[in-house]
Structure 1
């Protein structure tokens, strides 16, 4: 009989599940201290509700099922942000700002090779109803704080702004096809093609120089400030560069600015993003562990109209990175009770008492030698072992911190 898992999904053993739980709980606690509330969303939704939002590439990779009751096409969740946009748009009463966080699985068909899975885990936040740049800075600060609380320091947040490319499209009066070609030249760092692209445009040398240098414009805030000084004659571009500076200034106040990197050479033309966008990278790890940005027009696609910003971590990439480190993270439980006597009443009483005190307790209900039961307990993460024995017709209770250190408990005082 075949008992394998299908390709595209992943099973986690006890130790791996403990690490996943540690990652999610640490990040959730960070979200909570920043004032975010958890929302639990359905795994299945109507295809028609979201299909107009998704690009053709995403639509063809949806997992679809038929609702036998209504005959409608349903989809497995492919994206949390669109779900939350639909949810907020459906609320009759809205008090802004709305701060929500989520944790769960997303599903998307991809050729299942390596780390490309049908089912991936995400955890993230959405900040809805605020257009000010402080909201974008807060999202970046929450992401930064989350990684630091996981003990990750060697990360970098690459920031860009979709507005910059939209402004250039208008300034250069580009058609949609020309605009896509323009973005491709920047993304692929094809400087010679960019030179040819702008050669015949009626723009001054300063703007031409800026456009041609876009594939190389990545660096610190000083690079942004230098470009802003050069482009004051172009108010729309200057305003975008000032947004970078303002966000950076706010992060400085949080003392979270040291991980920020600006990358104008990566357009990142996401489907529903309208402003700042970013990706989070960890040194010596090949994949981005997080991504996000501003999406002010998304709610309007669900018959509502409010600004919003947010981000998500790819939990499995964080897991893959942390698993490679020598972390002393193992499941730990408090007490393991071994009762060698026939009457187990005392063992039940001790277990009940300890659980009421908030300790985790498991009973050894397998018949075997005490030594083997103790080996099992310490191997499986129990901090202490309680052994109940019969000596000269009297029950004795011993606590072991390890197999060689034991302490006898006074039964008269054990429940006081």
Structure 2
């Protein structure tokens, strides 16, 4: 096999994509800085137990593992940065009040999450710790939508869900963990046949509520109205539906449409409250994900209220219209003080000036220049190529 081939679903970023993605990263981080979020940069590699969360089989399956030759312990390449940020909040910063943190870095997956996705994502995101109210959920959700708009992604559709609804149903029924996991898998896969078989032994009220969840998807007002009729009036269910209604009304002006999906249990063992996902017509998969995960800090010995979001810059780049390349100015290779001064002035003004080392006009197009420096009347001037 040729040694220049890359593994499946691993790609290089060539100049056009690499430059634009880097500009997007800088735009995102500046937005975060303006909202008071502080940048952290966790390592790509950690001990496996720090990255593989309790009950998170999906994270385990996505994670590359290897043996550390220094300690003999199992190491893991991160598949998600959020657990690392939770570790930093819990043990390194150890703040008592609200902490706002953001990040941008590569993550690796053993399998692509979509048919057209890479296994090396450039994950950006923000996390808010120390506040359990709806206000922090809304701050994070607004910030995610503002970031998408800033990066040039428009016509976004937002789906809201709440894992507290399903959790309330199974907790009130006192179901064992095995059946709970089977119900979770059937709901997450929208497998109504499996769901119907699993709920047969349950009492009628719980059976009807669980069977209703897959159909509680669509336009916000209509779905919430049906949910209030079809689901038990448990306090936890009522509080979850009220929170979804408030969030939908608040976020509606920022997106093309807000929908509700009460069977979206993505990250059920990870999240603890409201979850959300942004979609775009140009992608089969969600383009941004987030939610509340108040229990995650337990893995690090310190439970903290937490909510956050993440997205993949490489996926977002694929949704944007192509831009005309920013071309530079070609300069001859000469030992000329006036030429050097002119080049320095142009670069200080933000221009890209490329010295033509070969001086071969046939190869000049490879320099990505549309202008050149020419000497006219003893003065170096910029002229069109």
Shorter-chain TM-score range: 0.7 to 0.9
Matched residues in 1 for 2:152 and 2:53: separation? 40
Structure possessing the higher radius of gyration over alpha carbons: 1
Q: How large is the Cα RMSD of the aligned pairs? A: 3.0
Query: Counterpart in 1 of 2:382?
Result: 399
Matched residues in 2 for 1:189 and 1:112: separation? 18
Matches within 5 A, 1:7-406: 7-53=8-54, 55-91=56-92, 93-94=94-95, 96-110=97-111, 115=116, 117-189=118-190, 191=192, 201-204=202-205, 209-227=208-226, 229-230=228-229, 233-251=233-251, 255-256=253-254, 258-322=256-320, 325=321, 327-333=322-328, 335-338=329-332, 343-369=335-361, 380-381=368-369, 384-388=371-375, 395-400=378-383, 402-403=384-385
Are the structure 2 counterparts of residues 317 and 357 from structure 1 closer, same or farther at C-alpha, using a change threshold of 3 Å? closer
Structure 1 window deviating more from structure 2 (354-363 vs 42-51): it is: 354-363
Structure 1 window deviating more from structure 2 (140-149 vs 161-170): it is: 140-149
* Shift in Å, 1:83: 0.5
Q: Which runs of 5+ in 1 are unaligned?
A: 404-416
Structure 1 window deviating more from structure 2 (42-51 vs 194-203): it is: 194-203
Are the structure 2 counterparts of residues 74 and 54 from structure 1 closer, same or farther at C-alpha, using a change threshold of 3 Å? farther
Matched residues in 2 for 1:276 and 1:162: separation? 6
Matched residues in 1 for 2:91 and 2:188: separation? 37
Structure 1 window deviating more from structure 2 (223-232 vs 163-172): it is: 223-232
Give per-residue Cα distances to partners, 1:163-188, cap 9 Å, x unaligned: 11000102333222322333344344
SS of 1:30's partner is: helix
SS of 1:283's partner is: coil
SS of 1:388's partner is: strand
Task: Check whether the contact 2:47–2:75 (CA below 8 A) recurs between aligned residues.
Answer: yes
* Shift in Å, 1:366: 2.2
TM-score by length of 1: 0.81
Structure 1 window deviating more from structure 2 (260-269 vs 119-128): it is: 260-269
Matched residues in 2 for 1:195 and 1:13: separation? 50
Are the structure 2 counterparts of residues 349 and 220 from structure 1 closer, same or farther at C-alpha, using a change threshold of 3 Å? same
SS of 1:137's partner is: helix
* Shift in Å, 1:264: 1.4
Task: Check whether the contact 1:137–1:248 (CA below 8 A) recurs between aligned residues.
Answer: no
Are the structure 2 counterparts of residues 191 and 7 from structure 1 closer, same or farther at C-alpha, using a change threshold of 3 Å? closer
Structure 1 window deviating more from structure 2 (307-316 vs 169-178): it is: 169-178
Q: Matched residue pairs, number? A: 383
Task: Check whether the contact 1:248–1:257 (CA below 8 A) recurs between aligned residues.
Answer: no
TM-score by length of 2: 0.87
